[in-house]
Amino acid sequence: MAPEYALVLHAAFEWAAILAGARLYFRERGLHGLRAALQPQNYAVLTGCLLGAAIGNKAVFWVENPQLWDPDSGVAQFFLGGQSMVGGLVGGYLGVELGKVVAAVRHSTGDHFVFPILLGIAIGRLGCLLAGLHDQTFGVQTSLAWGIDFGDGIRRHPTQLYEILFAGLLWWAFRRARARLAGSPGLMFKILLAGYLSWRLLVDALKPVPYAYPMGLSGIQIVCAVALAFYLPLLIAQLLRREAARA
């Protein structure tokens, strides 16, 4: 596939992921008795989410690919560079938390995002898979039977498919556990974010490393490890509180 067609195809799936995720988000709110229209204080949360995701999306791409940075290009290159799902999720989470502080929102807002995020990941990664070599999300060479040749004669780990399957597995698990987790607002989202960061820390070991950090880790793996170091204690603390309340 020509690079220009791959770019258009990938962008189409990205927008499809965003639109489908947004539609499912408002449906999730409706299922929980919330009005489709956002309350005034929630606009700060939504703005924080969008800005945080946009900045994190770009920032982690450059952490992953510092060798591509041109010091003379300035701020424009930062926003015109590639994207990172990890950066979008971490940045969006930080933006939401900042927005909640600004708007004095005390309740958890994350659980309604869980299934929209999983749907967005699955649709987006399908676009990555179809874009092939031009997307840079494929895996390293493999001799396994399910390896895919993306056009350069090398059978590679289809890490895009792995992530679609991972998102599907989480969807199934959360659907089964949803009722049990309902009494702990925010817990489902914490499990999602910690699970996804852990997944990327592992699965990115099957991908080419564009710029090697210490121990041969990629920039995304470094970001995942640092984020987990700060985020896992929050998840563990809520799990312990939940168990104490049930005792």
Task: Quick: pLDDT tens for 231-245.
Answer: 999 999 999 988 888
**How far apart, in whole angstroms, are the C-alpha atoms of residue 136 and residue 8?**
15
More confident residue, 99 or 142: 142
- Runs of H (alpha helix) within the chain: 3-31, 42-64, 75-80, 85-103, 114-131, 159-181, 187-203, 219-246
pLDDT bracket for residue 60 (50, 70, 90)? very high
More confident residue, 44 or 174: 174
Rounded to whole angstroms, what are the CA distances from 207 to 86, 162, 201?
A: 15, 12, 11
State the chain's mean pLDDT as an integer.
87
pLDDT bracket for residue 3 (50, 70, 90)? low
Q: What is the pLDDT of residue 28?
A: 78
**How far apart, in whole angstroms, are the C-alpha atoms of residue 5 and residue 32?**
41
pTM flag (> 0.85): yes
| 106 pLDDT higher than 60 | yes
| 170 pLDDT higher than 90 | yes
Across 33-37, 44-48, 120-124, 161-165, least confident range: 33-37
Residues paired with residue 156 on neighbouring β-strands, in sequence order: 141, 148
Q: What is the pLDDT of residue 39?
A: 65
pLDDT per residue over 179-233, tens digit each?
Answer: 888 888 889 999 999 999 999 999 999 999 999 999 999 999 999 999 999 999 9
Q: Dihedral of CA 71/73/76/78: which sign? A: negative
Across 49-53, 79-83, 95-99, least confident range: 79-83
Which position has the token pair 């489709």?
36
| 59 pLDDT higher than 60 | yes
Of 18-22, 71-75, 199-203, the range with the highest mean pLDDT is 199-203
Our CA dihedral for 126, 10, 67, 164, rounded to 10 degrees, sits at -10
Rounded to whole angstroms, what are the CA distances from 62 to 66, 68, 139, 168, 229?
A: 5, 8, 20, 29, 21
In the three-class reduction of DSSP (H, G, I as helix; E, B as strand; rest coil), residue 141 is classed as: strand
| 141: phi then psi, degrees, rounded to nearest 5 | -65, 145
| 36 pLDDT higher than 70 | no
Q: Dihedral of CA 53/193/165/119: which sign? A: negative
Q: What is the pLDDT of residue 104?
A: 80
pLDDT bracket for residue 40 (50, 70, 90)? low
Residues paired with residue 148 on neighbouring β-strands, in sequence order: 156
Which position has the token pair 């039977």?
145
Q: What is the pLDDT of residue 115?
A: 94
Identify residue 20 by its one-letter amino acid code.
A
Tell me the HSE value of 84 on the side-chain side, using a 13 A CA sphere. Answer: 31
| 5 pLDDT higher than 80 | no
More confident residue, 80 or 128: 128
